């Protein structure tokens, strides 16, 4: 059967394009990798090298719509890369020794998608792999503990070193006793209302644009004790994710500290008639801050320690 030039051309195009989409490749294998926004990810791909062979590695990305787009090709390393990945993707330096991995840096949320690696040796497709990349919104949090005294102030540290021209934003969240996190303050909307407990007492560093995202809390209250979360973003990508555990310790006025509070003494006298060694120490005056909200008084009364605990709670 004779083909017209047009038909032949069409057939050639079909053959060519099926070649391109790797119909001659081994079955697709699938791998999943994940990374954090701002970080980097290695999309693994490999083959078994033998000396003298002609190797061609091709990586594709699957956009939200449409077929795969060519990302990078080992044979034409200087070919333009689609804008989304421009300047951020790089083939392994060890392609000739079998490492055909793709390195994506400065990960963005929108890099979350499927990628495909094809390796051709002497015109035969030997590796055909799908890599599913998931980019998480932020890195896993790091933890910092900060303490302060009631009535004083505390700086909750959070920072990032931006490169010049980057747009830096910071958000702080607090965790009230009930319910999930609440937004405390956000650098982009400085005049937004602040939850009542902290209203008028929290302030962001003046140097957010240069990467200091610390939060200043003044006139500390015992109930400010708890967890706070800082997220910093540059150009819309979360780069710092930190958990600050703030502990506010009770600090008593010097006049009160001259002796045990009067009610303490009274309770002490009534409870120490049978255990003369029980005495109010520094502990009862500082302990209430940590226990008053959560710990009921112990019910058992049988030894001096239990009585001391009981005494301690009751003086609240
Ligand atoms: C392949 O190359 C990537 C990028 O350079 C590297 O991170 C990875 O460890 C290499 N893999 C192997 C198996 O050597
Ligand atoms: C960040 O800002 C806070 C609050 O203004 C300040 O106390 C702290 O020293 C600053 N940190 C750095 C590293 O400049
Ligand atoms: C915060 O610190 C306090 C006191 O050290 C501790 O009891 C509490 O479990 C910590 N919270 C978290 C979430 O780590």
Most confidently modeled range among 70-79, 231-240, 270-279: 70-79
CA angle, corner 22, sides to 16 and 24, nearest 5?
Answer: 90
Q: Is 16 exposed, middle or buried (0-12, 13-18, 19+ CB in 10 A)?
A: exposed
What is the reported pLDDT for 11? 41
Supply the pTM of this predicted model: 0.46
Least confident of 136-145, 252-261, 302-311: 302-311
190 - beta bridge partners? none
Atom of ligand 1 nearest to the CA of 93: 5
Report how far ligand 1's centroid is from the alpha carbon of 89 (Å). 14
**Average of pLDDT values for 120-140?**
88
Least confident of 9-18, 33-42, 85-94, 114-123: 9-18
Segment 239-297, tens digit of pLDDT: 888 999 999 998 654 444 333 333 433 333 333 333 333 333 333 333 333 333 333 32
Query: What fold is seen in the domain 17-136?
Result: Immunoglobulin-like (2.60.40)
**Alpha carbon distance 45, 129 (integer Å):** 7
Query: What fold is seen in the domain 142-257?
Result: Immunoglobulin-like (2.60.40)
Residue 62 has pLDDT above 50, yes or no: yes
Q: Which residue has the higher pLDDT, 261 or 67?
A: 67
**Average of pLDDT values for 158-179?**
87
**Average of pLDDT values for 232-241?**
81
- Ligand at minimal distance from the CA of 247 is 3
**Alpha carbon distance 38, 105 (integer Å):** 7
Atom of ligand 1 nearest to the CA of 46: 13
What is the reported pLDDT for 109? 76
Query: Which residue's CA is minimally distant from atom 11 of ligand 3?
Result: 245
Residue 38 has pLDDT above 80, yes or no: no
DSSP characters for 240-309?
A: EEEEEEEEEE----HHHHTSS-HHHHHHHHHH-SS-TT----HHHHHTHHHHTTTPPPP----SHHHHHH
Report how far ligand 3's centroid is from the alpha carbon of 205 (Å). 25
Ligand 1: residues whose CB is within 6 Å? 42, 92-94, 99, 101, 103
Report how far ligand 1's centroid is from the alpha carbon of 131 (Å). 15
Q: How confident is the model at residue 133 (pLDDT cuts 50, 70, 90)?
A: very high
**Average of pLDDT values for 169-185?**
86
What stretch(es) of the chain map to CATH 2.60.40.10? Answer: 17-136, 142-257
| Best of 42, 57, 88, 98 for a ligand 1 pocket test (most atoms within 8 Å of beta carbon) | 42
Q: How confident is the model at residue 22 (pLDDT cuts 50, 70, 90)?
A: low
């Amino acid at each position: 059967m004779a083909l017209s030039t047009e038909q032949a051309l069409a057939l050639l195009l079909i053959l060519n394009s099926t070649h391109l989409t790797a119909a001659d490749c081994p079955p697709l294998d699938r791998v999943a990798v994940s990374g954090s926004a701002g970080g980097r990810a290695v999309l693994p791909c490999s083959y078994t090298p033998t000396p003298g062979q002609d190797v061609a590695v091709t990586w594709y990305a699957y956009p939200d719509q449409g077929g795969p787009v060519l990302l990078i090709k080992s044979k034409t390393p200087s070919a333009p890369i689609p804008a989304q990945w421009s300047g951020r993707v790089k083939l392994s330096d060890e392609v000739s020794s079998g490492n055909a991995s793709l390195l994506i840096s400065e990960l963005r949320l929108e890099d979350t998608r499927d990628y495909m690696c094809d390796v051709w040796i002497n015109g035969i497709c030997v590796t055909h792999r799908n890599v599913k990349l998931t980019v998480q919104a932020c890195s896993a949090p790091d933890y910092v503990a900060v303490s302060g005294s009631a009535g004083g102030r505390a700086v909750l540290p959070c920072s990032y070193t931006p490169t010049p021209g980057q747009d830096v934003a910071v958000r702080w969240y607090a965790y009230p006793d009930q319910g999930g996190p609440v937004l405390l303050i956000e650098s982009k909307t400085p005049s937004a209302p602040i939850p009542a407990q902290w209203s008028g007492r929290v302030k962001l560093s003046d140097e957010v644009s240069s990467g200091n995202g610390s939060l200043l809390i003044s006139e500390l209250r015992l109930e400010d004790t708890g967890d706070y979360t800082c997220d910093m973003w540059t150009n819309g990508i979360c780069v710092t994710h930190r958990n600050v555990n703030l502990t506010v310790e009770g600090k008593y006025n010097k006049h009160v500290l001259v002796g045990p509070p009067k009610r303490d003494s009274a309770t002490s006298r009534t409870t120490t008639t049978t255990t003369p060694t029980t005495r109010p120490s520094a502990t009862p005056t500082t302990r209430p801050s940590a226990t008053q909200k959560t710990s009921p008084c112990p019910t058992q009364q049988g030894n001096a320690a239990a009585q001391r605990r009981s005494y301690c709670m009751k003086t609240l």
